[in-house]
Structure 1
Amino acid sequence: MFWKLASLSASSPVDSILDKENYTLEELLDEEEIIQECKALNSRLIHFLRDKAQVEQLLRYVVEEPLEEDDADSKRAFKYPFVSCEIFTCEIEVILKTLVEEDKLMDLLFSFLEPSRPHSALLAGYFGKVVICLMIRKTAALMNYIKGHQNVFSQLVDLIGITSIMEVLVRLVGADDHVYPNFPDVMQYLADSDLLEMIVDKLSQSSPPEVQANAAETLCAITQNAPSALATKLSSPGFVSRIFGHATEDSHSKSGIVHSLTVCISLLDSRRSAASSYFFNSFRGQHMFESPAPVSQETIGAMLPKLGDMLMLLSVASDSKILPTTYGELRPPLGKHRLKIVEFIAVLLKSGNEAAGKELASSGTIKRILELFFEYPYNNALHHQVESVILSCLENTSETMINHILKDCNLISKILSSDKDSVLSGDNLPTVAATGKKPPRVGYVGHITRLWNKLVQLSGTSVLIKASLEENSEWKDWQSSVLQERNTVENVYRWACGQYCCFSFLIVTLYSRHAYKSNATCRRPTTLQDRTRDSDEEDRDYDVKDYKN
């Protein structure tokens, strides 16, 4: 017996409108089920929406702000633009075909970029979604339109401070052959244009911080897609010098330093910038686990002339800022720009370029970075980068770098003395302990322990490191007492916590037929009675050999 359900057989509200003799686009946009009907490929609805007049009206809702008399109409300001954008992003072939085959419609779409137009974040998001949809589904038609309208690039770059517009540029320059069928041709065309020059110019100190940040994000997207014609052009000495110049042209612009060095770091190690990218989970993420392309020596060579300027930027003498903290004060705080400089130097040293290492050593930059390690004892992000710098020097094939970090920087004596006196002192500028409180322990002891263990490990293969350790009279006593004891305590494989629980669980799993004999519950006392109760029977252990049969 079958039940007839009227609710299942009734037509949708969209079909009811389409059955009328006269109806408008707005009536359809008012219906909640219109997006569902588009995705279900309702033939009558699609036939209506594919008409040029309807596509034009949908575009106007996407790119045009409502008139003053329409401001009170929330549908015109919010609902119609949203639904119109969703109709385009349903990726219906005939609707997109109508759009890309009519130059007037494409002109209307990209009229949103005109400088005289308002650019609200809401409509910018809808515009970006429609363009990205065309980029994926109608690549050839879109690129042909852009080639015939060169001003599109400059208009996009001028609005790069809007995140939605920046995403369009990121998709344009950071796409791969999975998105563009003719990927090499598209990348070559972009490289031949002046798009890259315009984006790099946005890193200048005259640009607002949000513009610099989005320009850096776009350039990092290019490096993450290497090798390509656009990435090759960006890593050329001329462009590297321009980017590096923006980082050092004005020491007062902290934002310019941070974002310019972010691009330089991405040129040296694209995977590092991808991990912190806003679009980490986008289609570009598939390159994350591929082997990075080797860094060109010309790319690094273009950075060398400005490396000496980094030492001046690391100075805190002229900075009068004071930051109160729970443990005292920072006079001044390290700042994001100095941390970014240290990160850049760590990545540069990891590249293994001998000329860069010698330049950093001769300018005193490595020595200054080591001083920052002890001056800011609670900045773990700094400690992580400085540890990387030290390890790069110790593992370097050049004896010059090993001698510099051990002799010139006096590494062993510094970490020995800091480990012995591991409490924050009152005159340890720029980190000042609070008065009237017990000074806390410094926060880099774990990093020092790892460095000690690395020195011991490398002393087995490096004569220089072994000789430096043996020259220090305090080293042997400290190693046999403090370091050995600390390694024993921190060896998690020797910890006894949880072993009985795991052992009992293994018994129950392997010998379930004898599970009633074993107490496999990892039970912790929760009350005083639990702690004092005699529970020998419950806690009795069993020998595995008893269950072999």
Structure 2
Amino acid sequence: SFWRFGNGYNEVSTINNLLDNGFESFAPNLEILGDLLDEQEILEELASSNIKLIEYLRQREVLEKLIEYIITEEDDLVDDSQKNEKNDDDSNNNNNDNNDNEEDESKSESSDYKRRKSLNSNSDSDSDDVQNYDQPETIQEIHSRRAQVAAEILSADAWSLTDSFMDNHDLLSKLWSVLDKPCPLSMVLSTYFMKINEHLLDMKIDEMLNFLLHQNNLVDRFLKHIDNPPLMDFLLKVISTDKQDIPTGIIDLLKSQNLVSKLISFLDPKVNASVQSAAGDFIKAFVTISANSNTDNSTIGPNELTRELVSEKIMNQLCELMLKGGTSLANGVGIIIEIIRKNNSDYDFVPVLFITIESHPPTSRDPIYLGHLIKVFSKNIPKFASLLKDTKLPPMDTPFGSIEPLGFERFKICELIAELLHCSNMGLLNDEKGEEIVRERDIERERVIALEKQQDDEEGEEGEGAQNEAGDEDSDHEASKVIKRLSISSTEQDNEEDKTTEKEEVKEKDVTTDDDKDSTPTENKPSLEIQSEPDSDADTTLEIQYDEHETQIRKNPVVGDQLKIALADNQVILVILNMFFCFPWNNFLHNVVFDIVQQILNGSMDIGYNKYLAIDLFGRGEINKLIIEGQQKCEDYEQTNGLRLGYMGHLTLIAEEVVKFTALYPPNTIHQIVYDAVSTPEWTVYVTETLVDTREKYNALLGGSVEDEGGDETTEDNITPGEVDDDYNTTGNNRSLDSHEEDDEEGDNNRGNNESDDVEGDQFSRYMSQQLTNDLPDKFGSSDEDEEDD
């Protein structure tokens, strides 16, 4: 009939016909499984809860056959077919005839499937299509199609089927034998594996976690295929089940199997670059889901794996690999950046500086401490500085001529320095007691973990009976030794803290004395606006005080200052600043340099070593001179080539930061070096003329302003250049500057002046009222006339 289901309920499906022979002597008939998998409607029947189909598929023998379809790869089929051909040559003619008949049957089976498919899909096929369908499928094509359907069946939302599968642990182990196959693993097979296991993890999470926790070599089996995205994505999903409020023990299992150290070892330059990148991507993804966030439900929070990742041992291992350059450096920098951005202690829900062990006992989910990271990289700054200075690349031809390329390694080092500088400004790393508090909590955390482990061992041994009494005694003795060792470490730490406290008390007295000395000359210091020349005696006293304070900081620096001191001693900031002008077309570098300068100039000038980095920018760095020279080079290049240099947008941003810094901190209150730098006639001309002109160009309205019929401007966009400059000074670095085409609108700035924001608001209200009351066609006409007059 015309309708496919013409008489509705009278038609019996092919699947039901096959299932009539589904059981023989109470055992499933596996011979019909292939025909079932060839049917297009099998997934629809399964979704509609076909009882006969589900009852057949949930049999253990059928499930095992489905898994065999999935885990058997096409290469294995080719090997089997070659073996069969060899056996056929050794057999007699009768056996050959029988084998030929079997092959004919498989071919006819395949062609029957194709014909059924063609009839169901399109009854108007032409002669060419019929010829194509007469061509039988290969063994590999048949197997691939059936494996796909088998994977869909095992991942279908059928509770009865899922229960039956999970009741047979040997079937699950057989499916997981995929991980034991040699590399590289088929991407199709990996996808099937991930799809089925994700379904089981969602439907039967307790049983799946119990299965995973009994895998003694779980890490090694997954890392064998580390460059296989589906498998590593599934491992991430398994880790994400271990949340702070619902722990599952997966993180402890992975830590016991040394997941972190094994991942870091993949970053070695001896390892293939693709494997290095895969390991780096997995670590960054893991750090992301372990972010210290109280609002994101998709994260699991800090844990013992991330705590191990930022430990001194792992950081030393990672830093050593990064210093070898290449892909190791690139991946390492990406990991460090992700760690710092996802674990900013300034945003801790409960800052560690304001809690005690008694009020908030340490747990495995405490925020991680980045002090070890900063310490390790501070010690290795000289080596990174050498890479930055010594790397030279051959010239590269560009439309702008032959230039020296920056290179990926140098850019990554600049990114690393900028991010480490961000990290060193965290409050916890600049507190004198921060490191001691964290160390105390670490010791207490280890003690608690050891006690919990001892209790778990005792409970397990009690269940085994009296035959393990000797083992109990050994375990208790071993746990006691661990606790004793931790107690000794804690006692030694307390002694060190007492000595440190005494030193701090002496230091505080010295600092107080210095502050008393600072107060008198600071109060009597002449203002820059009143007196052009600073008092020499006051400046000399100020310089001496700053030098003494710097010496004091260097004697016992906090963790954050250790990095800043290393950067200053190795002139890393100055080298990066000069690179800004050496590579005028690399905007990625320009953005990083601006970030570094902005951090330093916006940092604290009262405590810590940051103010000495700022002074160094004006002293050895000569930042004012570099800005003026960069502006002049751009003007010369523009006259010759008609183009502006690529760094001009960021150069203006840096200049604005310098002006804002000198306005916030009068130069004569910082250091004589700063005063001398900003008092030169060249800098004064640049600030009062060049920078002002640049502001006007950047703030010019694109397209001009709207005028009414009388020629007066009546919109809120009516802003004078002076007003724009004032607003610009207050917003500073939040304004985005365009470094091109700013000269096109100089002649369009003849706009009227408003006396205040209130006047602007009144004018805008009158303008809107006029727009609403006037006749629209007339208004459009007057607007056109105004445009023609313009």
Calculate the TM-score normalised by the size of structure 1.
Answer: 0.78
Q: Aligned partners of 1:106 and 1:447: how far apart in 2?
A: 59
Report how far residue 205 of structure 1 moved: 1.4
Q: Deviation at 1:255? A: 0.7
- Shift of residue 539, structure 1, vs aligned partner: 4.2
Seen in structure 2, the aligned counterparts of structure 1 residues 470 and 8 have a Cα distance that, compared at 3 Å, is farther
Residues 134 and 142 in structure 1, CA contact (< 8 A), matched pair in contact too:
yes
Contact 2:577/2:593 (8 A) holds in 1: yes
* Residue in structure 1 matching 2:379, options 294, 302, 305: 305
Q: Structure 1 residue 386 and structure 2 residue 600: aligned?
A: no
1:114 aligns with 2:180: yes
Q: Does 1:481 align with 2:689?
A: yes
Kindly indicate whether residue 236 of structure 2 is the aligned counterpart of residue 237 of structure 1: no
Structure 1 counterpart of 2:776: 517
The correspondence of residues 205-220 of structure 1 with structure 2, limited to 5 A, is 205-220=269-284
| C-alpha contact (below 8 Å) 1:199/1:215 kept by paired residues | yes
Who is 1:402 aligned against?
614
Displacement of 1:386: 1.4
Write out per-residue CA displacement over residues 265-296 of structure 1, whole angstroms, 9 at most, x where no aligned residue.
22211389xxxxxxxxxxxxxxxxxxx96752
Q: 2:429 maps to what in 1?
A: none
Counterparts of 2:143 and 2:612 in 1: how far apart (Å)? 67
What is the distance in 2 between the residues matched to 1:311 and 1:12? 83
Hey, what's the Cα distance between the residues in 2 that align with 1:313 and 1:79?
54
Q: Distance in 2 between matches of 1:8 and 1:214?
A: 55
Q: Give the whole-Å Cα distance in 2 for the aligned partners of 1:205 and 1:487.
A: 48
- The match for 1:372 is 579
Q: How do residues 47-58 of structure 1 correspond to structure 2 at under 5 angstroms?
A: 47-58=55-66
Q: Which runs of 5+ in 2 are unaligned?
A: 23-31, 83-136, 291-300, 345-365, 426-559, 605-609, 709-713, 717-763
- Cα–Cα, structure 1 residues 391 and 37, in superposed 2: closer, same or farther, change >3 Å? farther
Distance 1:313 1:296 in 2: 24
Partner of 1:532: none
Mapping of residues 350-365 of structure 1, within 5 Å: 350-351=422-423, 352=425, 353-365=560-572
Shift in Å at residue 216 of structure 1?
1.1
- 2:383 is aligned with what amino acid? D
Deviations 1:379-438 (A, max 9, x none): 11111111111111212222112112222222121122111211687xxxxxxx9xxx93
Question: Is 1:222 aligned with 2:286?
Answer: yes
Q: Structure 2 CA distance, aligned partners of 1:197 and 1:14? A: 60
2:522 matched to which residue of 1?
A: none
Distance 1:405-1:33 versus aligned 2 partners, 3 A rule: farther
Residue 262 in 1 paired to residue 521 in 2? no
Show the counterpart of 1:315. Answer: 389
Name whichever of 93-102 and 215-224 sits farther off: 93-102
Shift in alpha-carbon separation, 1:9–1:170, aligned structure 2, 3 A:
farther
AA in 1 matched with 2:370: S
Q: Which of 437, 449, 457 lines up with 2:660 in the alignment?
A: 457
Q: For 1:324, what is the secondary structure of its paired residue?
A: strand
2:108 maps to none
CA drift at 1:59: 2.2
Q: Which moved more, 1:506-515 or 1:49-58?
A: 506-515
**Residues 13-28 of structure 1: matches in 2 within 5 Å?**
15-20=13-18, 21-22=20-21, 24-28=32-36
**1:203 partner SS:** coil
> TM (normalized to structure 2)?
0.56
Aligned to 2:126: none
Q: Secondary structure at the match of 1:264?
A: helix
Aligned counterpart in structure 2 of residue 60 of structure 1, from 50, 57, 68: 68
**Given residue 287 of structure 2, which amino acid in structure 1 is its aligned partner?**
T
1:330 matched to 2:330? The reply is no
The aligned counterpart of 1:104 is 170
Q: Which amino acid aligns with 2:264?
A: V
The 8 Å contact of residues 519 and 539 in structure 1, kept in 2 or not, is answered as: no
Distance 1:189 1:240 in 2: 22
Higher-Rg structure is: 2
CA-to-partner distance for each residue in 1:480-535, whole Å, 9 max, x for gaps?
Answer: 2111111122126x4445857997999999899757435787xxxxxxxxxxxxx6
Deviates more, 1:127-136 or 1:402-411: 127-136
SS in 1 for 2:584: coil
- What is the match of residue 532 of structure 2? none
Question: Structure 1, residues 190-226: CA drift from partner, whole Å, max 9, x if none?
Answer: 2233222221211111111111111112212232214
1:81 aligns with 2:147: yes
SS at match of 2:397: strand
Distance 2:270 2:594 in 1: 35
Give secondary structure in 2 for the equivalent of 1:409.
coil
Match of 2:267 in 1: 203
Change in Cα spacing, 1:391 to 1:184, as seen in structure 2 (3 Å) is: farther
Distance 2:7 2:675 in 1: 89
- Relative to its length, the structure with more helix (as a share) is 2
Match of 2:629 among 414, 417, 439: 417
Are the aligned partners of 2:391 and 2:410 in contact in 1 as well (CA < 8 Å)?
no
In structure 2, what is the Cα distance between the partners aligned to 1:346 and 1:394?
Answer: 14
Q: Deviations over 1:11-35 (max 9, x none)?
A: 7999541243236333333333444
Q: State the Cα distance separating 1:104 from its structure 2 match.
A: 1.8
1:343 aligns with 2:415: yes
Mean Cα deviation higher: 43-52 or 119-128: 43-52
More displaced, 190-199 or 111-120? Answer: 111-120
| Partner-residue secondary structure (3-state), 1:204 | coil
Instruction: Report if aligned partners of 1:135, 1:142 keep a CA contact under 8 Å in 2.
Output: yes
Alignment pair present for 1:438 and 2:641: yes
Give the Å deviation of 1:74.
Answer: 5.1
* Distance in 2, Cα, partners of 1:461 & 1:326: 42
Task: Describe the shift of the 1:469–1:363 C-alpha distance in structure 2 as closer, same or farther (beyond 3 A).
Answer: closer
Q: Secondary structure at the match of 1:207?
A: coil
Please tell me the residue identity of whatever aligns with 1:105: L
Residue 258 of structure 1, CA deviation: 0.5
- 1:153 has 2:219 as partner: yes
Separation in 2, partners of 1:488, 1:297: 45
Mean Cα deviation higher: 298-307 or 42-51: 42-51
